[in-house]
Structure formats: C-alpha cells, structure tokens
Structure 1
Amino acid sequence: MAQMAQMKVLIVEDNPLNMELVIEILKSSGFFVSGAINGEEAIKMIENEYEHYDLILMDIELPGMDGISAIKIIKSKPGYNNVPNIALTAFAMKGDREKFLAAGFDDYIAKPIDVPGFIKKMQKYKQS
C-alpha cells in the first residue's frame, strides 16, 4: 500500500512558546512542519524552489511586515494562489474573523489555541 506524502505546513509565528506548541501539535498529528518568525522569512521560505507548502498558518501581528501583507505576497507567488492559509491570531473580537477572511485568509484560529479544536481543524485540511 502506497504511503500518502506528509502534508507540509509553514507556521509563521514570532512568539517562541506559541511556535513550539503549534509545531508539537502538528508533528504529533503527522504533519511535516517548518517555522518562520516573521513575514519576510516566510516569503523567502516559500520562494525556495525545492520546498512547497500545502498549508500556511500565519500570525497577524508580526515584527516588520504584518501577516495580512505577507499572505497577500505569498498568494501572488507561483503555486501558492490556492494553498490554504489560516490566520492564527489573538485578535478574537466580534468581526475579526470576517475581517481576516475578507483580507484573503481561508480560515481563522483564535489564540490561545483550543488544542482539541485545533487538531480537529488540521485533520480536516489533511484529508482534503
């Protein structure tokens, strides 16, 4: 039986504890995970012709370029227009989810992360 290729996820998060938590959850769920600490680094990583990510988790409030600007640039790159990208953010007020979806994100996860809900949502992406 052929083994399905691991889904590659790029997480963009400037908080080391949040980064570590998300990486551990994803790795234990069978994902291949890479991390970037800001938008500029994420863009460099997706421009690497030897690596292609199947899913991007993007913090909104990052040093330098914010997550919304970074995702717009990433979506303009060859092969990334249809890659699902998820806003991973502490902005959890009424209307924030809609604001991020309108800005080009495919989904939204509020921080602090609800671990069971996060795992369930990631499994959904893995199966699609």
Structure 2
Amino acid sequence: MNAAILLVEDDQASLELAAYLLEHYGFQVFRAEDGLQGLNTALGLGADLDLILSDIQMPEMDGYQLLRALRADPLLACLPVVAITAFSMEGDEQEILQAGFNGYISKPIDPERFVDQVREWLPSDNP
C-alpha cells in the first residue's frame, strides 16, 4: 500500500504543486491549509498516516505549535513530521530540527528532487 501523507500548507500554489508531485507517484495525499486544520486532520486519521509535511509560518496555528500538539498525542507522537519552509537563513534548519521536526525541506521545492526527499522519511516498504 502506498504511503498516506498529510500536507499542511497555507500557500495554495505550494500545496497544489507538492500534492500533484506526490499523487503522481502514487502516494495518498491529505491536504490542510493551516496548522489547526492539519492537527484536526491528523487526529482524525491517526495511525493511518505515515508522514506529515508541514509549513512553518501559517495562520491559526504555526508549524511549531502543530508539532507540539502532535508530539503530545500518544497516537501521533512518533509520526515523522518534516518541515517544508522558506526559512532558509543560516541556522533556520538547525532550529527547526532542534524543535523536534524529523527533517527539513526548503522552499521553493525542487520538483526533480522533492519525491525522493520525502521518501527518506517513509518506511522502506513504501514505493
């Protein structure tokens, strides 16, 4: 079975591009347009999710707040969460990883590399 990925992104163009690329490679993609919607979607899907890709700067609930809420839920605490963000100044990646994200992908995403980058955080039995 193909991996189930939750994309949490408030920029519609970025959300659509990432979803298109992942769906093209057969992943099941769920979409949320802000952190609060992402949290509610993750709580609803629970163990059916394999990975969450989240922007950092979003309305309602930012990526850091989303991560803290996910880590506080026993069912979702171990779920890999990867930041996809335009924060690319020196030190940003380290700050994001120290906050507890499992990984970091800078925006704009590279369509040639994006799916391979995402696969790094998926169980090896997913294509």
TM-score, reference length from structure 1: 0.89
Q: Pick the aligned partner of 2:119 from 90, 115, 123.
A: 123
Unaligned runs of 5+ in 2: none
The higher-RCO structure (CA 8 Å, 6+ apart) is 2
Q: Pick the aligned partner of 1:109 from 105, 110, 113.
A: 105
Alignment of 1:7-86 (within 5 A): 7-48=3-44, 52-86=48-82
Identity, in percent, stands at: 35
Contact 2:8 2:34 in 1 (8 A): yes
Unaligned runs of 5+ in 1: none
Contact 2:6 2:32 in 1 (8 A): yes
| Distance across 1 between alignment mates of 2:69 and 2:56 | 14
How many residue pairs are counted as aligned between the two chains? 124
| Distance across 1 between alignment mates of 2:53 and 2:109 | 12
- 1:119: Cα distance to partner? 1.7
- 1:24: Cα distance to partner? 0.3
**Deviation sequence 1:52-80 (CA, Å, 0-9, x none):** 21100000000121111111101211321
Deviating beyond 6 angstroms after TM superposition, the runs of 4 or more aligned structure 1 residues are none
RMSD: 1.5
Q: Which moved more, 1:69-78 or 1:9-18?
A: 69-78
| Greater Rg by CA | 1
Contact 2:10 2:33 in 1 (8 A): yes
TM-score, reference length from structure 2: 0.90
Give the AA of the match of 2:52.
I
Q: Which moved more, 1:84-93 or 1:50-59?
A: 50-59
